[in-house]
Amino acid sequence: MPAKKQNTSSFISPPLGAEGLHSPLGAEGLHSPLGAGGHFISVNDVSDINSLVAKALAYKQNPLKDKSLGTNKRIGLLFLNPSLRTRLSTQVAAQNLGIEAIVFNVDKEGWALEFEEGAIMSGNTVEHVKDAAPILGNYFDILCIRTFPSLKHREDDYSEMVINQFLKYARVPVISLESATLHPLQSLTDLITIVEHSVQPVPNVSKPLYANIPNPKIVLTWAPHVKPLPQCVANSFSQWINAWGKAEFVITHPADYELAEQFTKGATITHNQDEALKDADFVYVKNWSTYNDYGKIYSNDPQWMLTKDKLKLTDNARVMHCLPVRRNVELSDEILDSPNSIVTQQAANRVWAAQAVIAELLPRP
Report the interface residues with ligand CP, using CB under 6 A.
83-86, 178, 186, 322-324
Is 240:266 a contact under the CB 8 Å cutoff?
A: no
SS3 31: coil
SS3 242: helix
Length of the chain, please?
365
Nearer to ligand CP (CB atom), residue 225 or residue 310: 225
Nearer to ligand CP (CB atom), residue 182 or residue 213: 182
What is the nearest approach in angstroms of ligand CP to the Cβ of residue 60? 18
What is the nearest approach in angstroms of ligand CP to the Cβ of residue 183? 6
SS3 285: strand
As a whole number of angstroms, the distance between CA 146 and CA 183 comes to 9
What is the nearest approach in angstroms of ligand CP to the Cβ of residue 196? 18
The residues, ordered by sequence, that sit 6+ positions from 310 with a Cβ below 8 Å of its Cβ are 273, 274, 277
Is 129:113 a contact under the CB 8 Å cutoff?
A: yes
Is 224:249 a contact under the CB 8 Å cutoff?
A: no
Nearer to ligand CP (CB atom), residue 200 or residue 231: 231
Nearer to ligand CP (CB atom), residue 176 or residue 221: 176
The residues, ordered by sequence, that sit 6+ positions from 78 with a Cβ below 8 Å of its Cβ are 104, 106, 136, 143, 144, 145, 146
SS3 249: strand
Nearer to ligand CP (CB atom), residue 141 or residue 178: 178
Nearer to ligand CP (CB atom), residue 85 or residue 246: 85
What is the nearest approach in angstroms of ligand CP to the Cβ of residue 149? 14
